[in-house]
Amino acid sequence: MADHPDFEASAKPIAASVEASSLRDQLATIRLALARSPIRKQLLWACVGIVAVIVATSIGQVLLNRWNEPFYDALARRDMQGFLHQLLVFAAIAGGLVVLNVGQTWLDQTIRLKLREALTVDLIGEWMRPARAFRLANAGAIGVNPDQRLQQDAGHLSDLSTGLGIGLLQSFILLVSFVGVLWSLSSGFVFHIGGYSLAIPGYMVWAAILYAGTASWLSWLVGRPLIRFNSDRYTREAELRSSVVRVNENVDAIALAHGEDDARRRLELDLGTVLGAMRRIYSAQINLSWVTDTYGWITVVAPILVASPVYFAGDISFGGLMMAVGAFNQVHSSLRWFINNIGGIADWRATLMRVADFRIALAETDVLHHTERRIEFGENPDGRLTFENLEIASRDGCTKLAEPHVEIRAGERVMITGDPRAGKTLFFRAIAGLWPWGSGRIGMPAGDVPAFVPRKPYFPLGTLREVLNHADAAVSDAEISAVLAEIGLGRLSSSLDRSARWERELSDDEQRLLAFARLVLRQPKWVIIDEALDTFDGATLRRVLSMLEARLADAAILNIGRGQQNIEFFPRSLAIVKDVERPALKPVRVRAGAIEPPPAVAKADQQA
């Protein structure tokens, strides 16, 4: 083993740390997700529609602002006929704006819905690519609680992006629409100071920009910590939810062990971290309120104060003053969008970071697996399964077969054993392609995809028939009933059309028996088992082996387990050994999280 140079390369540190993703990276990955979405055209047309509605609304707002001057001048002249006419004009403008506002609300909700669909479907698709979910589960913090990233964070990001995006677009269009109006109104403003006259072109425009710019800078200065606080809160919320789910799924074991006090303390501790995160957010929001609320009250009189010197000098009428005030408020309202939404922007930034970094981590697990030293996989045209100098790297050494060259032919029955902590489950995962770190070659039988039987089987939600039937080779109910009776689960034959969470309704042994029933119904040519036979008692084990002998007579079966349970069924044996003298596999860090394979190895070794 010492003379094997390939393993030396694979056992070295795999990669260095990479800096966290930037805002540019995060926006790019979200843009890529939307560009690949099948509903991108629907989303694009909804965005085009809302732009058109916002432009039309801005035109209506300009018309409404122009309406101010004749209306207030009619009031100042006590002109009843002019007053009534302006009310009719107002009704027409306001009616059009109501229709546009309802249309904008509908488009707003449509964009939120389509955006969430596009993001969530993309994340699910990326997460459910072969072996990615497994790899990400061992990727450090970024792989913890993916359910929150897929469900809550993606939905929240969709809502925030839509709300903030539409608000920003509306503010920009209103700013473009009214800055010209306000500039033209400001052209007649002349200040008379000590016998001198001073005209400032676009006076009210500059006043609005200075006023809003100062407040925006102060708001950002005070509100910036909310980005970090919100991200921390979402992490703590996910941990609390995960703890609640874990307790709920283990209530029987907790009750039997009288562990309610410990469970309560764990939940209270997680709740305390959530409340602590929320307190930090609330404290930052209170500090931000001092700026925004003070600014909001000053805004009530600010436009009048800005224009009052010109009005009292008699250079504009009362109607002109109100028109200037209205235009100032529209320009100022557009400029203060940042101030009004600083909390939402911080929340959006934190949520974007969680969703985008999750997607980046999914992609980078593949990059890591394709660029670093790993086990070679190939196919053997003659239908053999071979292991050539296979060495599987782990934190505490190297797992391998005692024989460097192993060949298993079709139809063979092989028992593979090893001492505790030798890495039997790790060996199983390496054959399945889930654990690529190491060296050597695994040659799979060409044209035959092995069926892998883990210690804990997985059953999808659905009816029992759907659980047992293979997607490509459906079997009859009679055959299903016969197999269930043969393996000792005949009582389930009457429940084929019942949907249930079968992992909760069946005991551990019954779940494994159901997994073997599903196995024989699928008729694989190669079967690789990871300790799933070890927990059966003598009678149950004989029943399972008898069924495998009868129904999978021509299949090659490899059983990775703790001992030689049946020499007649498994006449050939192989041994797994671990060399703890080999260099340890070091953790790998990538952007958006740490890809750390060793903890999974340690966990697998402990289980083995």
- Rama region for 593: left / alpha / beta (φ>0; ψ in -120 to 50; rest): left
Distance CA 573, CA 105 (A): 69
pLDDT digits (tens, 9 = 90+) for 268-293: 888 888 888 888 888 887 887 787 77
The candidate with the shortest Cα–Cα distance to 142, out of 153, 158, 130, is 153
Stretch 445-457: mean pLDDT, rounded?
89
For 451, other C-beta atoms within 10 Å of its C-beta total 19
pLDDT digits (tens, 9 = 90+) for 494-523: 888 888 888 888 888 999 999 999 999 988
What confidence score (pLDDT) does residue 529 get? 93
For the chain, give the mean pLDDT: 79
Give the pair of three-digit tokens for residue 8: 């030396």
Please report which confidence band the pLDDT of residue 469 belongs to, taking 50, 70 and 90 as the band edges: confident
pLDDT at 422 over 50: yes
Please report which confidence band the pLDDT of residue 526 belongs to, taking 50, 70 and 90 as the band edges.
very high
Of the candidates 525, 532, 504, 515, the one whose C-alpha atom is nearest the C-alpha of residue 468 is: 515
The answer to whether the beta carbons of residues 29 and 356 sit under 8 Å apart is: yes
The more confident residue out of 377 and 179 is 377
Q: Model confidence over 549-563: pLDDT tens digits?
A: 999 989 999 999 876
Confidence at residue 295, expressed as pLDDT on a 0 to 100 scale = 74
pLDDT confidence of residue 17: 32
* Number of Cβ atoms within 10 Å of the Cβ of 107: 22
pLDDT at 48 over 60: yes
pLDDT band per the 50, 70, 90 thresholds, residue 315 = low
Decide: 390 and 375 in contact? Cβ < 8 Å. Answer: yes
pLDDT digit string (tens) for 105-145? Answer: 899 989 989 998 998 888 888 888 877 777 776 665 666 66
Q: Which of 324, 331, 65, 56 is nearest to 174 (CA)?
A: 331
pLDDT value, residue 585: 53
Four-CA torsion 459, 460, 461, 465, nearest 10 degrees: -70
Q: What is the pLDDT of residue 12?
A: 34
Q: How does residue 187 score in pLDDT terms, banded at 50, 70 and 90? A: low
Q: Which of 48-52, 343-347, 481-485, 595-599 has the lowest mean pLDDT?
A: 595-599
Question: And the tokens for 383?
Answer: 């239908």
In this structure, of 167-181, 379-393, 537-551, 585-599, the range with the lowest mean pLDDT score is: 585-599
Name, in order, each residue with C-beta under 8 angstroms of 10's C-beta and a sequence gap of 6 or more.
Answer: 372, 373, 374, 391, 393, 437, 438, 439, 585
For residue 20, pLDDT beyond 70: no
Q: pLDDT digit string (tens) for 301-311?
A: 777 777 776 67
Q: Which residue has the higher pLDDT, 143 or 543?
A: 543
Contact predicate 521/468, CB 8 Å: yes
Query: Inter-axis angle of helices 508-522 and 477-487, to 10 degrees?
Result: 130
Mean pLDDT of all residues in 341-353: 82
**What number is the average pLDDT over the span 386-403?**
86
587, amino acid identity: P
Q: What is the DSSP string of 543-584?
A: HHHHHHHHHSTT-EEEEE-SS---TTT--EEEEEEEETTSPP
Instruction: Quickly state the pLDDT bin for 471 (edges 50, 70, 90).
Output: low
Q: Is the pLDDT of residue 581 over 90?
A: no
pLDDT at 193 over 80: no
Residue 596 pLDDT level (bands cut at 50, 70, 90): very low
> At CA 583, angle to CA 580 and CA 587, rounded to 5?
110
Q: What is the average per-residue pLDDT within 236-252?
A: 79
What pLDDT is attached to residue 332? 67
Write down the pLDDT at residue 10.
Answer: 33
pLDDT exceeds 80 at position 84:
yes
In this prediction, residue 8 has a pLDDT band, given cuts at 50, 70 and 90, of very low
557-574: b or e for each residue (b if 16 or more CB lie within 10 Å)? bbbbbeeebeeebbeeeb
Using only the alpha carbons of the chain, give its radius of gyration: 35
Rounded Cα distance, 188 and 320, in Å: 11
Helices (H), 128-250: 132-137, 146-148, 154-186, 203-223, 225-249
Give mean pLDDT, residues 581-606: 45
Q: How much of the chain exceeds pLDDT 70, in percent? A: 83
Is the pLDDT confidence value at 570 over 60? yes
Give yes or no for residue 569 having a pLDDT over 90. no
